[in-house]
Amino acid sequence: MTTNLRRRSNSAMRTALPPTPLRLVCPWVVAAALALVGLQAASAAETRNVLVLYANSRLLPANIKLDHGLRETIRTSADRPVALFDEFLDVPRFGGQAYARTVTTYLRDKYATRPPAVIVVGNQEALSFVLENRAALFPEVPVVFMSAPKSFLRSIPALPADVFGVPIKYDISSTIDQALRWHPRARRLVFVTGTGVWDRGWEGWLQAEVPGFKDRATVEFLAGMPTAALLKRLGELGGDSVVFTPGYFKDGDGRNFTPRESAEAMASAATAPVYGPFDTFIGSGIVGGRMPNYAAMGRQAGEIVNALLDGAAPAALRLPEIMPTTLNVDWRQVRRWGIDETAIPGDAIVHFREPGLWEEHHNELIAGAIVFLLQAALIAWLLFERRHRRLAEQANQKQRFELAHASRLAVVGELTGSIAHEINQPLGAILSNADAAELMLESAADRRGELREILADIRRDDLRASEVIRRLRLLLTRHEAERQAFDLNDVVIEMATLLRSEVQRRGMSLDIQTAPTSATLVGDRIQVQQVLINLVLNAMDAVADLPENRRTILVSVSSRADAIAIAVSDRGHGIAPEYLPQIFDSFFTTKPQGMGLGLSIARTIVEAHGGRLHAENPPGGGALFRIEWPATDAKAKSSAETE
């Protein structure tokens, strides 16, 4: 409170300072004034001392845990500074009236200049010491106890009102009860104690528990034995026994131990499971037990100290009746003694349980599962996409097939006149040959030689007519795309034969130049022929208006080491440069009756065969359409998927 007031006046001073120029002139005056005020504030917050008295040595595990709980709870601040002082009576190694007097004098003199505001005692012996020597040892100072059993407190005739705390109760019977349930074969209950004062006290408490278990097991007391003999006996027990021990400070030979040290030795020597009352034993090799928690006792006492230092009256504090106990169990011992895991109550604290894969790596496992799911989702999506694309491609192919077929029908329609002429010609020849033969038969002369020639002509003409029909049928029928090797030279010759009459009808000339070697392509021969017919018919359209000497079209096949190609060139007006980029688009046409599909279908077919089709206006005039397939992998690249 004083500090706060001073601080307030401190800040008030700062705000009341003269304006900037003066502050600049004498900053050191301001600093000195502030320092002075600060010093006064610090000396005003008086340090409150807390004396913590433990009975045993500094390193007793219980003391360490109590002290830890106490120190983490007691609040200290600039406003309410607290100093903790630990003292250790070092029983049972030291004791007796004279020792008590010496320690009392020592403590009173030592803390005369720093009198405690509260005394905390670490267990029942420390409490006894304070109660017995209180008159000489800060009699007015309240005493807070930790780790004092309720039964012990009850045995004190009149506990002063300013000596208080939360008592503990060692739940011996529950621990033994639990042990007998976990080890159903156990028929013998073995209690081990030592020879110190504390040890004897425990022996008394354990004796008091015996009647409760008499009908369930025979009870054996190993009290005050020399450690060596004790460990030997424990080694002989076997699986039908259960051991309970609080450990001991002094054995039958008068050797000193901490209870935990003795418990550890017992647990490693015993051929039966060992149980105990202190949570400080966990990890020493004992199975466990129902225990109060030492750190919690320290924290509880810390809370009480805080309240007292804050000015609360002891009588006003609402304290729990008793410190709670919890069942503690060492997982490694559960395994060692074959305890049924399902028989461990859910509220038990299980120590040293190796974390399962999930507990130890659950972050990694969750991350892995997420990655796995994402991957699975991605794969599913890709599969779906692939299937989707396949279906789309199939539909696309079907459409291309239909379109190519329709385009062939259109071409044949365009050629009807010349085809009729192609067929009529041999039919007419056959008829006149037949007439001539008839006349010869009517004459008496033997003209068998001539008749044979006539018959040969008839056969040839018939074959010619039927060849035209065969080729037509091939163009017209809807056939599945094929994948066969064929020579481009043959295709060009065949195309020229089919178009011969049309070329003649239009008064044009179609020159073909085949390659000196074969130019083999693998794919659908009819489709490639269709491409050529389209290109030549376009060329015929392009030269239609020209004088007869310029109505020439050249189709040439070339076969190089790296490529095979067909070029269709004419001497027409060429392709207008602005149209060049569009002529392969569907429905692009410059002709009044055109459909604009021929070139787009042609390019699709060529590309489906792994080739390229492009157009240009060569320097000499006219248009040049060039189809090229790589020679080396022409076979590999060509495909039957063209339609």
Give one word for 264, left, alpha or beta, with left for phi > 0 and alpha for psi -120 to 50. alpha
**Between residues 356 and 577, which has the closer beta carbon with respect to ligand ADP?**
577
Is the dihedral angle over the CA atoms 28, 32, 33, 38 positive or is it negative? Answer: positive
**Between residues 245 and 600, which has the closer beta carbon with respect to ligand ADP?**
600
What is the CA 181 to chain-centroid distance, rounded? 43
User: Which residue in the shown chain puts its C-beta closest to ligand ADP?
Assistant: 598
**Between residues 396 and 590, which has the closer beta carbon with respect to ligand ADP?**
590
Is the dihedral angle over the CA atoms 92, 97, 101, 102 positive or is it negative? Answer: negative
**Between residues 529 and 600, which has the closer beta carbon with respect to ligand ADP?**
600
CA angle 576, 578, 580 (to 5 degrees): 70
Query: Please, what is the minimum distance in Å from the beta carbon of residue 589 to ligand ADP?
Result: 3
Q: In angstroms, rounded to a whole number, what is the distance separating the alpha carbons of residues 199 and 380?
A: 72
Q: In angstroms, rounded to a whole number, what is the distance separating the alpha carbons of residues 247 and 262?
A: 5
**Between residues 556 and 589, which has the closer beta carbon with respect to ligand ADP?**
589
Among 204, 338, 594, 618, binds ligand ADP (CB under 6 A): 594
Cβ contacts of 81 within 8 Å, gap of 6 or more: 45, 46, 47, 48
Query: What is the x/- site pattern for ligand ADP, positions 540-569, by CB under 6 A?
Result: --x---------------------------
Residue 209 burial (10 A CB sphere; 0-12, 13-18, 19+): middle
Query: Please, what is the minimum distance in Å from the beta carbon of residue 596 to ligand ADP?
Result: 5
**Between residues 233 and 612, which has the closer beta carbon with respect to ligand ADP?**
612
Residue 37 burial (10 A CB sphere; 0-12, 13-18, 19+): middle
Query: Please, what is the minimum distance in Å from the beta carbon of residue 573 to ligand ADP?
Result: 7
Under 8 Å between Cβ of 604 and 636 = no
Q: In angstroms, rounded to a whole number, what is the distance separating the alpha carbons of residues 247 and 230?
A: 12
Among 583, 605, 613, 627, binds ligand ADP (CB under 6 A): 583
What is the maximum alpha-carbon separation in the chain? 175
Q: Which of 179, 183, 181 is nearest to 245 (CA)?
A: 179
**Between residues 346 and 581, which has the closer beta carbon with respect to ligand ADP?**
581
**Between residues 288 and 574, which has the closer beta carbon with respect to ligand ADP?**
574
**Is residue 595 involved in binding ligand ADP (CB under 6 A)?**
yes
**Between residues 217 and 597, which has the closer beta carbon with respect to ligand ADP?**
597
In a 3-state reduction of DSSP, which class is residue 441?
A: helix
Query: What is the x/- site pattern for ligand ADP, positions 504-543, by CB under 6 A?
Result: ------------------------------x---xx--x-
Binding piece for ligand ADP, criterion CB under 6 A, among 42-50, 96-104, 315-323, 598-606: 598-606
Neighbour-count burial for 413-430, b at 16+ CB within 10 Å, e otherwise: eebeebbebbbeebeebb
**Is residue 575 involved in binding ligand ADP (CB under 6 A)?**
yes
**Between residues 432 and 513, which has the closer beta carbon with respect to ligand ADP?**
513
**Is residue 596 involved in binding ligand ADP (CB under 6 A)?**
yes
Query: Please, what is the minimum distance in Å from the beta carbon of residue 412 to ligand ADP?
Result: 15
Alpha helices in 581-637 (DSSP H): 598-608, 634-637
Query: Please, what is the minimum distance in Å from the beta carbon of residue 535 to ligand ADP?
Result: 7
Instruction: Give the amino acid at 610.
Output: G
Instruction: Kindly identify the residues of this chain, within the stretch 609-628, that bind ligand ADP according to CB under 6 A.
Output: 623
Query: Please, what is the minimum distance in Å from the beta carbon of residue 484 to ligand ADP?
Result: 26
Site size for ligand ADP (CB under 6 A): 22
Residues that bind ligand ADP (CB under 6 A): 534, 538-539, 542, 570, 572, 574-575, 579, 583, 588-591, 594-600, 623
